[in-house]
């Protein structure tokens, strides 16, 4: 079904992508016996193995995509989504303008005047189109790249990896009539986390970042971690980003209790313990009235029936499978 819209899905089984590391818990054939769990730090080895597992998987995945001549790839989790970094009037001072009102005002002038690239995001229907439009663009001589009308980060040969800010969306319900606005008939907005949950952390309170990387130019070495894949080949000096200078950001959703409960109530409450959540209403400000949601754009791209098959219908099937697994666990107790 996904192949009909040009999507290629590769499934790896039985750790076929594994590369043995030097440490014993980094070996593919790691089968600890009872004596292992008596060790004082056994839990730490298990956690380290999970981290190593993730690094190997991401590294091998990017190598595979590179061999397939793929380009821009988001390295994010299944509860995270790439989003346009629309300007939010509630944003605080620009992070690189520390105690400098003149610097802040200079940035705001480009926003108010509509010359900054963040004010032009509504001119692109998809992230891929936006990137393609900016590849090859150069910031005019003498212009600060952070204040430019073009985003040249997608054409920097030395930095194929771009670190993006990440923001948490909590499980606070929004009004059903509001989230249904702009959604095509036959679709229920409550089936989509990105439409259903609209309360997020302030843009001044980002989580550790995540990356988008040009796989065709990515290094072949093992990644350093999921938040900043490589060293000097990634933008910035760490995984905390000057969000105001970015075209994209990552949205991280806690989701509903029903979808989260297998991970436990404690973690669910911790994730939702956000006292300063704001409503993310940036998208409608930059979208045309007839095209308010990403879902409407997707329907136009692939057709209504196929869009239903690829989103809502498969989601309802997954919810049912999740419910069955939960019931099995409960009966075992």
Q: Write down the pLDDT at residue 289.
A: 63
CB 171 within 8 A of CB 198: no
- pTM of the predicted model as reported, rounded to 2 decimal places: 0.89
3-state secondary structure 103-151: HHHHHHHHHHCCCCHHHHHHHCCCHHHHHHHHCCCCCCCCCCHHHCCCC
Tens-digit pLDDT profile for residues 145-181: 999 999 999 988 899 999 999 999 999 998 888 889 8
- Nearest by Cα to 8 from 61, 49, 87: 61
Contacts of 216 (CB under 8 A, 6+ apart): 66, 69, 70, 71, 160
Tens-digit pLDDT profile for residues 180-198: 988 899 999 999 999 999 9
Q: Write down the pLDDT at residue 59.
A: 95
Q: How far apart are CA 308 and CA 295, in angstroms?
A: 10
22-26, 104-108, 167-171, 214-218, range with the lowest pLDDT? 22-26
Provide the percentage of residues in the chain whose pLDDT is more than 90. 53
């Amino acid at each position: 079904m996904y192949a009909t819209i040009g999507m290629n899905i590769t499934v790896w089984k039985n750790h076929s992508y594994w590369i043995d590391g030097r440490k014993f818990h980094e070996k593919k054939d790691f089968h600890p016996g009872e004596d292992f769990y008596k060790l004082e730090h056994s839990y730490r080895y298990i956690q380290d193995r999970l981290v190593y597992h993730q690094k190997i998987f991401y590294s091998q995945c990017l190598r595979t995509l590179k061999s397939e001549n793929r380009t821009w790839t988001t390295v994010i989790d299944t509860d995270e989504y790439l989003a346009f970094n629309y300007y939010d009037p509630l944003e605080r001072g620009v992070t690189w303008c520390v105690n400098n009102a003149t610097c802040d005002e200079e940035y705001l002038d480009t926003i108010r005047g509509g010359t900054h690239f963040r004010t032009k995001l509504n001119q692109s229907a998809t992230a891929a189109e936006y990137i393609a439009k900016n590849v090859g663009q150069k910031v005019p001589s003498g212009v600060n790249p952070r204040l430019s009308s073009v985003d040249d980060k997608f054409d920097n040969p030395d930095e194929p990896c771009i670190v993006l800010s990440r923001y948490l969306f909590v499980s606070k319900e929004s009004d059903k009539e509001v989230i249904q606005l702009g959604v095509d008939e036959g679709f229920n907005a409550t089936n989509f986390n990105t439409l259903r949950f609209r309360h997020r952390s302030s843009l001044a309170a980002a989580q550790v970042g995540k990356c988008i990387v040009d796989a065709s130019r990515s290094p072949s070495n093992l990644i350093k971690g999921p938040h900043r894949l490589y060293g000097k080949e990634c933008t910035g000096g760490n995984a905390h980003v000057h969000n105001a200078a970015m075209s994209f950001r990552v949205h991280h959703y806690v989701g509903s209790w029903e979808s989260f409960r297998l991970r436990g109530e404690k973690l669910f409450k911790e994730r939702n313990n956000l006292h300063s959540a704001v409503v993310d209403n940036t998208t409608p400000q930059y979208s045309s009235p007839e095209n308010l949601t990403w879902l409407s754009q997707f329907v136009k791209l692939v057709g209504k029936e196929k869009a239903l098959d690829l989103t809502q219908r498969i989601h309802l099937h997954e919810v049912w499978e999740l419910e069955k697994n939960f019931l099995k666990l409960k009966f075992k107790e």
